[in-house]
Structure 1
């Protein structure tokens, strides 16, 4: 006789596989709950209908690449209708990186199916995608958490989950019920890179206010946003002083003395393979190559970078703006188009003295601002902003941005016991640690 699951329990919160260290008895119990194997990918589902009318939906847990591949089309369809775009969590981008980043990591990719916030739509519609991995909150802390997934190369520059527009509130409610109803740890998860003032942040705050079972801690960090103005001159007058603009014009004249200057994007390129190879080689020749952080620092990194850039080009999602003197590539900047915005990826410039003294990176960024305001094929009408995806202290985007991009990071946990105490005090404790220890934190 098959044992029935407890009311409100997460039926599919099964013991991890393979190299996981769950006791055998717990694994057998999980098998009793999930029932016999079904055709298709091995997934786990939670039905929160017994917990009231506050949410309408279910959670599917994916822990292998094969499972994720099975839902590829559904995730891509969700990405087209998301409340806030994030190309770094679209399958065409993250799957190649996932293949080389899976070793010794416990995946926990969550798919939320359900209706819109107003109850419209069908309950089997994919309304949320949360790529998580299970890891320690900090090496000094014994608690585990679900942390937004990031690849081995740290090319996942934004970790905003994909949430369907019009269903953000219901997605979070279903996620909250799933977290509370989990039979086993972790009872903590992290939401990262939620843009300030967006409908996602508003929905998250309402979620916390309406669900007394959860507690949270908030941290805000900054990046840089290029927001389109009425025209390029208005933009530049807003972000640059007259003295700074005159200096950039002098740098342009110095560069022109070295040879004919030409700026182009991929829509003017005849050989995309050659262009990508040049871009990767240029980045490898500068300081990133010396530190071992360039795309070509490892053979597999160069191959994946080329594959991702070519796929973005095939989908008409790539901007690869280049600055040449004669036929020499002296600066290049890549970005992924995701209307109504685009996201910076990699930038490189020639560090040899004749070119470096002309500030090719700044000149190329200036050209990018002009093209952001033109009716170009990729970065024209319909693109309202560019997220630099750069660190807060990055000099170039800091000097050219229209505004600071404030990003919210939430540590969310189920109330009660040690978990709640750690959640409320964790951020303050980590701040007093040395820098080398702080950087090991998952939050």
Structure 2
């Protein structure tokens, strides 16, 4: 489809309605229409498998489904069957349901490095609970987070460190310090500088690059030596790296870890897991001060826990993690091949583990460019590919991958023209896409 002919009139109207009633026009900033080319932000009607349809009737091959949460594909039959079994049985009671202990047993069987688990609804709640627990256990005020990782929580301890820090007291932000990924010496210097002040080190155990040899084990040793807790944010790595997350793949056991996203295949469920002696601080069977760890009315809705159990069973029985890697490898190879063939291989760069691919768009000088990202996204959308990233779901098939590579090849031809002109402006169709974290709207 010619991008000049590609229009989304109903989506545009729906976006206006969204902005009139919902701040930002979406419930997650990463889904905002500012993340897409001007007037080309599809509003979704429905999805099935690896495809979604917008309100204008266009069908897309979708990547990064639900911000990485729908890793089995939309409306997965095995997950829906588990959910439907619970819907007629009630979803929330005045006492725990038997589903809560069954879901906990299933989770701890899947992640055997943890000894206890508590469920919630979103990632921010469980990462903040981990931080609170670390502060209570150690009696220390500071949090050390990996400054190379983009997001940990909507709560003040993290958001205060971003450009969107309005409304957060400086005194709160000053208690959060950052260390660089992969640099043990810098992390030890930080822990020495704030001796006996750091409650925990929190990081994604892996991201767009593999951890350097010995790095995670080195962090484990540093945390033990300096008396702080090691917390793995496994929102993305959980299930996608292995059924037991990055800790299961790399063999380094954190004190606490947090899971979400893929855990529910789109249903709202997250988890805080960890060592029993730590998690019990948030329980009733210890003699110290009580920690208000997690207490959520909807944290144990039966249908979401049923979804999580079905997801974990599907991953284990069907080898989903291996499928994700195979699909990602096929996609990465195809994109790199056509990009090289169009002589843009040094400008359109695919990065990350095969199960969690992202792409970088670089300008004629090799610098990251929102303008070239806009050009690329516009071409993909016109070709029926919705891809803020190249993160795969297991619902994709070879035909989807091959079609995606064809569309990428067409986009690369335009990318080459823009590079030759040293000006992508004629192909943007309006303002460039914007970074999520920025001070001004």
Is TM-score (shorter-chain normalized) higher than 0.5? Answer: no
Which structure exhibits the higher relative contact order, with contacts defined as CA atoms closer than 8 Å and separated by 6 or more residues? 2
Higher strand content, 1 or 2? 1
State the TM-score, normalized to the length of structure 2.
0.28
Structure of larger gyration radius: 1
